[in-house]
């Protein structure tokens, strides 16, 4: 399994070249950044457009997409004077067109239209469609050879090697949007790969960090959706509560950064102020710190190598007083260990895990299974897939999508009833 970090046309390992990337995508320093947002009505999309609204002279919105929230999509497209708005549900086309009547904004609908929107000429595409549905559009965005601000996990978790080769062929720039990966990128700076001993991603521990197993067995979806620090979408919030999110982020980090799987680690940091620590061979530890607000890493992904002013609260270390760290409890939160195991298995194992976990999280939100059933269901699906030879490897995006579909079917078969 190959791995690399892309921020220039090849890899983030070559950060000496990043300072020369100011003219990326043939953009002049005074020209507004032409930006498309895939998944505009979601959490990341909303935060991205909040920054755009605060810096109207720096951005020009090209395309906005959403899956089903047609009214909000039309509102955003009108407010930001987008060139095109696309709704994923094809049957909503007439409604979207009606809502945009008289605005001059082009309306379109359906999965193919979302891919077309991703190919609209832009300096940067924010790839924020959640789940496997975001794979094809993000691949399409990379074909431009411009910047892809990557918030879709599946591109690296399910199709890491394939996606990075695709990015390399197109000459695209890849900037991570996850706070932990953005922090690692900043902490590594121009450090040579040989000097990195370990990359440590931090996890808040979620809302149930101190719960015993008996209490965890009674957790409701409403409780799990109340994250103590971050404002995120439902699926990511549940993954944070189980620690599966941190396991998936370790898989992403393996593809993003020049380290082996054995050099990746996660620690629980309840305050969510330190987002990543990079341990170096001389004993130094480089860390990135900021208030837990996704607008900070989003701003960096949009503006690098410059910085973009944000309204994020500034850290007051005196008021914080204490920053604490602890080892994750794999007995109460087995999802992290399951994800690490999938990383070491390689091949299509992460794709199977990701698909099965999505099914399990959906079942929990629908009250079909309990909180403590999520990780075991994903693990059982992984074992079943290996027994069927499903994780032997994938070579194309179509292969990944086929594995994803089969894993989802297996996971559904494992659900009660």
Domain boundaries, the chain: 15-181, 191-291+315-414
The single residue listed with the structure tokens 């090849």 is 10
Distance CA(93)–CA(70), nearest Å, equals 9
Q: Are 58 and 33 in contact (CB under 8 A)?
A: yes
Q: Which CATH superfamily is domain 15-181 in?
A: NAD(P)-binding Rossmann-like Domain (3.40.50.720)
Q: pLDDT digit of tens for each residue in the chain (417 aa)? A: 444 444 443 334 333 333 334 334 455 567 899 999 999 999 999 999 999 999 999 999 999 999 999 999 999 999 999 999 999 999 999 999 999 999 999 999 999 999 999 999 999 999 999 888 999 999 999 999 999 999 999 999 999 999 999 999 999 999 999 999 999 999 999 999 999 999 999 999 989 999 999 999 999 999 999 877 766 778 888 999 999 999 999 999 999 999 999 999 999 999 999 999 999 999 999 999 999 999 999 999 999 999 999 999 999 999 999 999 999 999 999 999 999 999 999 999 999 999 999 999 999 999 999 999 999 999 999 999 999 988 887 899 999 999 999 999 999 999 987
- What pLDDT, on the 0 to 100 scale, is given for residue 4? 42
pTM of the shown model:
0.92
- What pLDDT, on the 0 to 100 scale, is given for residue 10? 33
Distance CA(234)–CA(366), nearest Å, equals 12
What CATH number does domain 191-291+315-414 carry, 1.10.1740.10, 3.30.910.10, 1.10.10.60, 2.60.120.10?
1.10.1740.10
- What pLDDT, on the 0 to 100 scale, is given for residue 152? 94
Pairing of strands 264-268, 274-280: unpaired
Report long-range pairs for 285-289 (Cβ below 8 Å, ≥24 apart). 286/187, 286/188, 286/189, 286/191, 287/183, 287/187, 288/182, 288/183, 288/184, 288/186, 288/187, 289/315
Beta strands in 225-268 (DSSP E): 264-268
Question: Which is nearest to 241 in space by CA: 182, 155, 181, 328?
Answer: 328
Q: DSSP class of residue 314?
A: P
- What pLDDT, on the 0 to 100 scale, is given for residue 11? 38
- What pLDDT, on the 0 to 100 scale, is given for residue 230? 62
Distance CA(165)–CA(120), nearest Å, equals 22
């Amino acid at each position: 399994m190959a791995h690399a970090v892309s921020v220039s046309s090849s890899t983030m390992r070559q950060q000496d070249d990043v300072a020369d990337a100011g003219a990326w995508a043939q953009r002049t320093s005074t020209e507004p950044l032409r930006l498309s947002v895939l998944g505009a009505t979601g959490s990341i999309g909303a935060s991205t457009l909040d920054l755009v609204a605060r810096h109207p002279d720096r951005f020009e919105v090209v395309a906005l997409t959403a899956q089903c929230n047609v009214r909000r999509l039309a509102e955003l497209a009108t407010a930001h004077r987008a060139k095109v708005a696309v709704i994923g549900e094809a049957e909503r086309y007439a409604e979207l067109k009606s809502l945009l009547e008289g605005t001059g904004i082009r309306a379109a609908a359906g999965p193919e239209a979302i891919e077309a929107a991703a190919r609209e000429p832009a300096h940067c595409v924010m790839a924020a469609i959640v789940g496997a549905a975001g794979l094809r559009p993000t691949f399409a965005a990379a074909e431009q050879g411009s910047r892809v601000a990557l918030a879709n996990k599946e591109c690296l978790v399910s199709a890491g090697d394939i996606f990075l080769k695709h990015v390399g062929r197109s000459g695209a720039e890849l900037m991570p949007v996850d706070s932990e990966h953005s922090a690692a990128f900043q902490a590594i700076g121009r450090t040579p790969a040989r000097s990195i001993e370990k990359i440590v991603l931090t996890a808040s521990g979620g809302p149930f960090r101190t719960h015993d197993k008996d209490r965890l067995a009674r957790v409701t979806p409403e409780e799990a959706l109340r994250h103590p620090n971050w404002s995120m979408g439902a699926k990511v919030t549940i993954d944070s509560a189980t620690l599966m999110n941190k396991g998936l982020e370790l898989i992403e980090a393996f593809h993003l950064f020049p380290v082996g799987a054995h050099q990746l680690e996660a620690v629980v940091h309840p305050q969510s102020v330190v987002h990543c620590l990079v341990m170096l061979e001389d004993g130094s530890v480089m860390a990135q710190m900021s208030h837990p607000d996704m607008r900070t890493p989003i701003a960096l992904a949009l503006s690098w190598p410059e910085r973009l002013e944000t309204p994020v609260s500034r850290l007051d270390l005196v008021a914080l007083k204490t920053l604490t760290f602890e080892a994750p409890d794999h007995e109460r939160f087995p999802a992290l260990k399951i994800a690490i195991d999938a990383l070491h298995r390689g091949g299509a194992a992460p794709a199977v895990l990701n698909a099965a976990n999505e099914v399990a999280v959906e079942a929990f939100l629908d009250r079909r299974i309990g909180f403590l059933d999520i990780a075991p269901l994903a693990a059982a699906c992984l074992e079943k897939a290996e027994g069927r030879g499903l994780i032997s490897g994938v070579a194309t995006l179509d292969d990944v999508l086929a594995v994803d579909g089969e894993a989802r079917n297996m996971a559904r078969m494992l659900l009660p009833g």
